[in-house]
Amino acid sequence: MTINENSERRLMIGRRFVVIVMGTAALGGCVQIETPDKPIEINLNINIKQEIVYKLDGDAKKLIEQNSGIF
């Protein structure tokens, strides 16, 4: 009986915790974003592995050759 009550208590606490976490997450989601006035946003925080760099190198060279008016 005591064991049963204890586990029920734990469940209650667990549920409250989940509600608190979800509430916090929902509040965090209400972030106002200002629209940028620049047409293209540039950032260099890109994640790229060396093997992808080498895989893309040939395609990049081809792209430059085939669109030399814009490069």
Chain contacts with another protein (rule: CB under 8 A): 39-40, 42-44, 46, 48, 50, 52-57, 59-61, 63-64, 66-71
> Is the CB of 15 or the CB of 55 nearer to another protein?
55
Token reading at 54:
């080498």
> Is the CB of 16 or the CB of 55 nearer to another protein?
55
User: What is the distance between the alpha carbons of residues 7 and 3, in angstroms, rounded to a whole number?
Assistant: 6
Find the shortest distance in angstroms from Cβ 41 to another protein.
10
Find the shortest distance in angstroms from Cβ 32 to another protein.
25
C-alpha distances (whole Å) from 63 to each of 28, 32, 42, 43, 57 are 42, 38, 20, 21, 10
